[in-house]
Every structure is written in C-alpha cells, then in structure tokens.
Amino acid sequence: MALFRRLSPFILIVFALSFNIANGQQTPLKPISYRVFTPFIFNPAIAGSKDFSTIDLLISNYDKSNSQIISGNLRLSKSGKKYFSALSAPEFTNIGVGGYLFNDLSDLSQNIGIGGTIAYHLHLDKNALSFLSVGISPKAVYNKYSGNPDLGEPAKNTFFPNFDAGLYFYTSNFFAGISATNLLGNPEESDSLGVYTIPVSRQFFLQVGYKFVLSRSHNLLLEPSIIVNTDDTFSGEIIDMFKPALKFYAGNFCLGTYFNDLDKISFFFRYNYSRLYIGTYFELPYNSPFYKQPVLAEFAAGINLSAIRSGFTRGNHW
C-alpha cells in the first residue's frame, strides 16, 4: 500500500490531464496493435519486463494507408554461477533495453522514425516477484508532406527529435503504468500560418491490468485491462480516452479485443510456437456493411531470442 501511496500523485496527474481528449496524434499512430503486442513503444519502462526477448514486426493496411513497425526489447543478462561441469544458467540484470523503426503513412503525410529505449527495473521484494521500473526513449522523426496542389500547399519535409518517458509497476498478476510520449511536442511554431501541421502532439497514458488464473493445469488466464490516453490540447469527448481491452490465454494461444475505436468491433489473436509467434488485429465497422467502409487489418510476427530459450522443457515460456 505504501507503494501505491507513492504512485498516487502520478496517477492523479494523469487523470487530471485526461478529463479532455484532443485531436492530436501519437507518433507512431499506426499500426494500432503495438498497444497490444509491443506496449513498450508507448511506455518505455515496460522494456525488459519479461524474462525473454523478442524481435517483432507489425504491418497495418487501412484504405490507402500503410504502416509498419519493427521493434525489439530484452532484459540484459549475465552469466550465472557455475557448478562443477554444469553449464551456468543466465541471470538477469536490472537493465532493459529496446529499439524500434516505424513508417506511418496517412493520406498526404508520412512519418518515418527511429527510437531507442532503456529502462531500469528495481526489485521490490526478496523473491523478485514485484518490480518498479522507469524508462526513457529518445527518438527522431522525419515527416514528409507531399503538398496539396488544390490548396496551393507546397511539399514539405521536417526532421525533429523527441523523447518518451514512463513509470511501470508489475507483479506476476498485476501491472500499472504511466507514461508520456512526444514530450518535446510539435516542432512547428504555434504562430505558424501554414495550413499543414505535422501530426504529432504530447500524449499521456495510464495503463492498468490484472491477470486472473482460471486454471493452472491448463494454463488458462483472463486479463482485463484499460489504457487511458489523452493529450495536452484538452478538446473532444471524455469517453474517447478510455480504451479497454480483454485477453484470454489458453496455453500458447491468446484471443482478445481492444476498443481503440468505440464505433468499431475489434479483435485479435496470437499463437506462440516454441521460438516464434504470429498474430492478427482487425477493426470492423458495426453500423454499416463491411464492404461500404474500409476494414483495418494488421499482421504481427515475432521471434523469441531469450537467454532462457523456449523449447521442449519450456514450451510455454513467453
């Protein structure tokens, strides 16, 4: 409880900022499923919170827009104690690292970015079952605007640095985090007379979730969670900032939903093999036939490169 009292001021700040949500954009904005499959991209403190490492590829296709993210994160390891002739088992340090490249294409604008992440994980108990981590992600973004001849807008290219920061508390069942992305904001002057504005703004996130064990013998888990997302321009509907999610785990299979857009039906699945996984994410409009509106479809794939590898003896080690 003492930990939650220390965290409560940060949580209250996020909620205070969240009473209005804006029309600004995240960087990256798509693929949307990175909030499900690789959440360290919006909260760098999550990097290295698992005792395995992955390289992930996410691909999104929606109408005329295409976006991709390739990323990876891991907890740095070191050689453990060696007994007689036995091979030493790896031990993990307190440092998590990660990185990502993204290409986010939307209408006439394109963001191409690169980011690097480092996080420090602090043990909160002797059994190493609860942790508090802090992380930061410096990044650089190159924005390309092809112009709009109908409005007399010329093409424009802009390169700008930015960074994200976060705090994350997690146990074997519970997790909660707060983070802020694009802390340097939009690189353009506020009094710019240009019609086109680079689609990036400061974003604030609060994430909370819990894993309920339904059956240990069959590896059945239920994980409800919610992401609260807002920015610093304070406009829009309050309900739009709440993005609940639900995951159901059955061994190596995960099925769930993430309500990024309350006007659409969303679902995803992921299946883990011994050293790789595949997954998909879809958003379908529920108030009109699917053939009248474009369908958001995203594909995810990854490789397990952990120091403690999946295999015959650790088939469910994800």
- Tell me the per-residue pLDDT of 72-95, one tens digit each, with 9 for 90 and over: 999 998 766 655 555 555 678 999
| 314 in a structural domain | no
Per-residue pLDDT at 170:
97
pLDDT at 269: 95
With respect to residue 280, please indicate whether it lies within any of the assigned structural domains. Answer: yes
Q: 36 — phi, psi (to 5°)?
A: -95, -45
User: Does residue 67 sit within a domain?
Assistant: yes
Question: What pLDDT is recorded for position 15?
Answer: 39
The pTM for the full model equals: 0.84
Question: What CATH number does residue 234 fall under?
Answer: 2.40.160.40
Q: Can you give the pLDDT at residue 188?
A: 78
User: Which element (helix H / strand E) includes 75?
Assistant: strand 65-79
The pLDDT value recorded for residue 12 is: 42
Angle at 165 between CA 76 and CA 104, to 5 degrees: 95
* Residue 56 forms part of a structural domain: yes
- Residue 86 lies inside a defined structural domain of this protein: no
Range of the domain at 210: 2-78+91-304
Overall number of domains in the chain: 1
Ranges under pLDDT 70 in the chain: 1-24, 79-90, 189-195, 234-236, 288-292, 306-318
pLDDT given for residue 20 in this prediction: 35
- Specify if 315 maps to a domain: no
Annotate 185-220 with b (16+ C-beta within 10 A) or e (fewer). ebeeeeeeeeebebbbbbbbbbbbbebeeeeeeeee
Query: In angstroms, rounded to a whole number, what is the distance separating the alpha carbons of residues 77 and 93?
Result: 5
> Which phi and psi (to 5°) does residue 171 adopt?
-125, -170
Domain annotation covers residue 313:
no
Give the pLDDT confidence of 189-236 residue by residue, as tens digits.
655 556 677 888 899 999 999 999 999 999 999 999 999 999 887 666
Q: Which residues contact 138 (CB under 8 A, 6 or more apart)?
A: 115, 116, 161, 162, 163
Looking at residue 192, its pLDDT comes to: 54
Angstrom distance (rounded) from CA 207 to CA 26 = 16
Would 192 be classed as within a structural domain? yes
